[in-house]
Amino acid sequence: MSRPTIYDVAAAAGVSKSLVSLVLRGSPRVSDASRHAVETAIRELGYRPSRAASALASDRTQAVGLLIDDYANPWFIDLARGLHEVLGPEGYRLSVVDVATASAAEDPVEGLLSSRVDGIVVAMDVPAALLGPGAPPLVIAGTRAQAAPDTDSVANDDRLGARLAVEHLLALGHRRIAHLPATGGASTARTESATAVLAAAGIDAVVGTPAPGATEPEGYRAALDVLRRHPDATAIFAANDTMAVGVLGAARELGWDVPGRLSVVGYDNSALAGARLIDLTTIDDRSTDVGREAGRLLASRMGGSTAAPAHRTLAPALVVRGTTAPPRA
Amino acid sequence: MSRPTIYDVAAAAGVSKSLVSLVLRGSPRVSDASRHAVETAIRELGYRPSRAASALASDRTQAVGLLIDDYANPWFIDLARGLHEVLGPEGYRLSVVDVATASAAEDPVEGLLSSRVDGIVVAMDVPAALLGPGAPPLVIAGTRAQAAPDTDSVANDDRLGARLAVEHLLALGHRRIAHLPATGGASTARTESATAVLAAAGIDAVVGTPAPGATEPEGYRAALDVLRRHPDATAIFAANDTMAVGVLGAARELGWDVPGRLSVVGYDNSALAGARLIDLTTIDDRSTDVGREAGRLLASRMGGSTAAPAHRTLAPALVVRGTTAPPRA
C-alpha cells in the first residue's frame, strides 16, 4: 500500500532515476523507447509526481487557501464559487480552512503559511501573521477591522448596504427599529451606517449587544432580549442572514407574525435567505462577484504583478422578499 | 515583497546555506554564535522554512484533505469538527475541497492527489481515482454507493436511521407517508430501509424522484409535486435536513400547517435543524462522532498502520422536535 516513488518507476522501467525525471519534465533528450518504458511504468504503478517536488523546483504549489471564520455562515459558499470560476481555469485549486472548527492544538494560519500555498484569500478579520514579511500574496475579501493599505482588497460597500436596509424599513413607515450587530469589521461598518441613517431620520435606534459569532442562536437570543425590552419595536435589521434566521425563530416563539407584527431584514443574500421557508428580505452583498474579483487580483499577484495595491468596492443591492411590510397601524 | 529564501537568511547571517540548514534541523553541530546569527536573520526576514522542502525530505505534508460534494449541505461542518478534534492535536491541518463549487477546468480530486496530502477523508461517493494505486491513506465517511472493502470507513447506520424516522411517524399514527429521496449511497440506503419498513406495516409509500443535489430547492419542488398529487399525505420523510427545509417551504406555500396538517422528518441533525424557526424532527447521524472516528483511523494509517481495513458503523438516534405530531383526525 506504500506510495510508489520515482525509484520504483526507474526500477520498473529499467532506466535511471534521472531519465525518469527527464521524461517527467518533458525533455526532448529521451528516446521514444525509453519514454514509452517510463510512461508504461508510471501507469502500471499508479505513480504520481510529487507536487512537493515540483513545488520546490518551480516555487509553485498551485494551491490557494481560503481562510474563513465559520463554515456555518454560508456567505463564503458564494465567495468560493466566484474564486473557483476565476482561479480554476488558471489551474489553481482551492482549500478552505476554517478557524472556528480548528482545534486549539493547531494554528490554521500558521498551517496555511507553512504549506506555502501560492496565495491566500482572507474572508475574516485578518490575522496579523498574514500581514508580516514572508507571507504569500494575499487578497482580503470583505470589509475588515484592520486597515491594510498595502494589501489588495475587495468588499461590498457595507455602509451603503446598511443604508439600503434601513431606508427600506423607513420607506415602509417603520419608526421603532432595532438593530442586532455582530463584531468584526463588516458588521461594525453596517452598524455605524445604520445608526447614522436612523439618527438622520430623527430615530434613536435600539442596538443590541454585538454577537461575537454572528450565529443563529445569537440572533435568536438577542432578538428575544430586545423584543422583550422593546415590545413596541416593529422592525429588526440583523447583522447577517444567519442572525436574521434566529430573529425569525424568536418571533415565532413570541407568536409575533412576520411581517405582520415584525419586519426582519438580513444581510448577505445567502442561499438560506432564498429558501422558501425563510424568504428573507436582505442585502445582496454580491459575494460571488467579490470572489471573482478577489480571484482576479490574486491571480495577478501570483503571476508577479507589482502594481499598486487595489481596493475594490462593489455596490450591494436590496432584495425584497417576504419578511418586510408596513408596520401594523 | 518576494518571499525570503534560505539563501537570503544565509546572506543576512553571514553564514553558508548548509549552516542555515543545520540550524533548521536543530543540529548540535552549530556554535551558539552562528545559531544566534541565523535565528536573528530568520526572525528579521520573516523567513519560513518551506513545507514543500520539508515534505520532500520527510515525505510528509501534515495536511489532510476533506473531500465533500456541497458546502451548502451543512452536515460536513460537524464532521469537520470531529476530524479537527482528533487530527489537530496530532499536528495535521484540514483543507476542505468541494467538488460542487469547483470549476469545470480543475479536477479537485486530481488536485488533492497531486498535492500529496498525507491523507484524505472522503465525505461523498468515492471518486474512482482515489481507490487506485498511489493514492494516500483514505477513510470513507458516510455510507457510499461503491463497496470499498479495502478502505477504512465510518458511517452512521443509515438503514437504522431511516427505520427510526419511519417508525416515529407510524407510532404517531401516520399511514399516508411520502418519502423524498436523493441520489448517492447514503440516501439510497435510507430509501430502501424506509420503504421496507413501511411495506412491512402494510403501507405502500409514495416515493418521489431522487434529487441529485439533495438541496433545499429540490426538496421544495419535490414536496410541491408529491403533495399536489397526493393531497391525502400526512407526513413526509425527506432524505436530509436541507431537503426537509424545502418541504417546510412547500407546506408554507400551500398553507399547510406543520405539524397540524403535515409532519416532516429530516436526516442529519445539522445546525439548520436546531434553528428555532425550523425546529425540525430529524435523525442524529452523529457526524461529529463519525469525524472523530474517521480521524482516528486516518491518523493510524498515516502513522503506518497495516491493520486489516476497519468498517465502523455508529447507531443514529431520533431527535423529536416541532415538525412531527399525530395526523389530524
Q: Is the CB of residue A267 less than 8 Å away from at least one CB of chain B?
A: no
Best residue in A96, A130, A152 to probe B by mutation, most B CBs within 10 Å? A96
Q: What domain count does chain B have?
A: 3
pLDDT tens figures, B121-157: 999 988 887 877 777 899 999 998 887 899 999 999 9
DSSP B80-139: HHHHHHHHGGGT-EEEEEETTTS-TTS-HHHHHHHTT-SEEEE-SSPPGGGGSTTPPPEE
Same domain, A162 and A281: yes
- Closest CB to B105: pick one of A88, A95, A271: A88
* B190 closest CA partner among B281, B275, B282: B282
Domain annotation covers residue B57 = no
Asked if B63 lies within 8 A of A111 by C-beta distance, the reply is yes
- DSSP secondary structure letters along A47-96: ----HHHHHHHHS---EEEEEES-TTSTHHHHHHHHHHHHHGGGT-EEEE
Query: Considering only residues 156 to 195 of chain B, which have any Cβ-Cβ distance to chain A shorter than 8 Å?
Result: none
Mean pLDDT of chain B: 89
For residue B36, is it within any domain?
Answer: yes
Decide if B102 and A84 are in contact by the 8 Å CB cutoff. Answer: yes
Provide the domain limits for residue B240: 158-285
What local confidence, expressed as pLDDT, does residue B49 receive? 65
Candidate from B55, B96, B106 with C-beta closest to A91: B106
pLDDT of residue B59 exceeding 80: no
Q: A105, B114: Cβ pair inside 8 Å?
A: no
Give the pairing of strands B63-68 and B93-98: parallel
**Are A187 and A252 found together in one domain?**
yes
Q: Are residues A44 and A85 in the same domain?
A: no
Give the CATH number of the domain where residue A237 resides. 3.40.50.2300
For residue range B207-226, what is the model confidence (pLDDT) as tens digits?
A: 999 999 999 999 999 999 99
Q: Which three cell numbers stand for residue B304?
A: 503506518
Question: Does A120 lie in the same domain as A98?
Answer: yes
DSSP A213-237: S--HHHHHHHHHHHHHH-TT--EEE
Of B104, B220, B279, the CB nearest to A276: B220
A117 and A229 inside one domain: no
Q: Which of B227, B247, B277 to mutate to test the interface with A (most CBs of A within 10 A)?
A: B277
Scored b (16 or more CB within 10 A) or e, B116-146 reads: bbbbbbbbbbbbeebeeeebbbbbbbbbbee
In a domain, A148, yes or no: yes
CA distances from B67 to A156, B130, B141 (A): 30, 11, 10
- pLDDT (tens digit per residue) in B60-94: 677 899 999 888 888 899 999 999 889 988 878 88
Q: Is B257 on the interface with A (CB under 8 A)?
A: no
Q: A124 CB near a chain B CB, below 8 Å? A: no
Q: Could you tell me which residues come within 8 angstroms of residue A91 by beta carbon, excluding any fewer than 6 positions away?
A: A62, B105, B106
The verdict on residue B135 lying in a domain is yes
State the maximum Cα–Cα separation within chain B, in Å, rounded to a whole number: 88
Per the CB < 8 A criterion, the answer to whether B245 and B279 are in contact is: no
Is B318 part of any domain?
no
Domain identity same for A117 and A169: no
pLDDT at position A299 is 94
* Alpha helices (H) in chain A, listed in sequence order: 6-13, 17-24, 32-45, 51-58, 75-87, 108-114, 158-172, 185-200, 216-229, 241-254, 271-274, 287-302
Average pLDDT over residues B36-53: 76
Q: What is the pLDDT of residue A1?
A: 46
Q: Please say if the pLDDT value at position B272 is more than 60.
A: yes
Backbone angles phi, psi at B246, to 5 degrees: -65, -40
Strand ranges for chain B from DSSP E: 63-68, 93-98, 119-122, 138-141, 152-156, 177-180, 206-207, 235-238, 263-265, 282-284, 311-314, 317-319
Which residues of A are less than 8 Å from B72 in CB distance?
74, 77, 271
What integer pLDDT is reported at residue B115 of this predicted model? 67
Do residue A281 and residue A164 come from a single domain? Answer: yes
CATH of residue A43: 1.10.260.40
Beta bridge partners of B264: B236
- pLDDT beyond 80 at B235: yes
Q: How far is B182 from chain A (nearest CA, A)?
A: 18
**Nearest chain B residue to A304, by CA:** B2
Q: What is the pLDDT along chain A (329 residues), one digit of tens a residue?
A: 467 877 888 899 988 877 887 777 666 677 888 888 988 888 888 877 665 455 444 556 778 999 998 888 888 999 999 998 899 888 788 888 888 877 666 677 777 776 668 899 999 988 887 877 777 899 999 998 887 899 999 999 999 999 999 999 999 999 999 999 999 999 999 999 999 999 999 999 899 999 999 999 999 999 999 999 999 999 999 999 999 999 999 999 999 999 999 999 999 999 999 999 999 999 999 999 999 999 999 999 998 899 999 999 999 999 999 999 999 87
**Cα–Cα nearest to B97, from B81, B80, B82:** B80
Provide the pLDDT for residue A135: 79
- Which of A164, A165, A228, A158 has its CA nearest to residue A189? A158
Selected residues 294-313 of chain B with any CB under 8 Å from a CB in chain A:
306
Q: How many pairs of residues across A and B have Cβ atoms under 8 Å apart? A: 202
Q: What pLDDT does B50 receive?
A: 59
ipTM exceeding cut-off 0.85 for this assembly: no
- Per-residue confidence (pLDDT) for residue B1, from 0 to 100: 46
* In a shared domain, residues B162 and B112: no
φ, ψ of residue A136 in degrees (nearest 5):
-75, 175
Residue B87 with chain A: CB contacts under 8 Å: 103
Distance CA A95, CA B44 (A): 29
Q: Look-up: residue for cell 498502520?
A: B305
Same domain, B280 and B167: yes
- Biggest alpha carbon distance in chain A? 88
Residue contact B275–A77, C-beta within 8 A? no
Measure B101 CA to nearest chain A CA, in Å: 5
What is the model's pLDDT at position A2?
Answer: 65
Three-state secondary structure call for residue B311: strand
Helix (H) or strand (E) holding B41: helix B32-45
Q: Are residues A148 and A294 in the same domain?
A: yes
- Chosen for mutation from B21, B64, B94, B218 (greatest number of chain A CBs closer than 10 Å) is B94
CB A170 within 8 A of CB A201: yes
Which 8-state DSSP code applies to residue B218?
Answer: H
Q: Are B30 and B22 in contact (CB under 8 A)?
A: yes
Nearest CA in chain A to B107: A93
Residues in chain A closer than 8 A to B280 (CB atoms)? none
Which residue, among A107, A131, A276, would best test binding to B if mutated, counting the most B CBs under 10 Å from its CB? Answer: A276
CB spacing of B116 vs A48 below 8 angstroms: yes
Q: Do residue B150 and residue B189 come from a single domain?
A: no
Beta bridge partners of B139: B121, B152
Co-location of A174 and A258 in the same domain? yes
Q: Which residue in the set B61, B89, B103 is minimally distant from A84, CB to CB?
A: B103
- Across the interface, whether the CB atoms of B76 and A71 are under 8 A apart is answered yes
Phi, psi of B135 (to 5 degrees): -80, 150
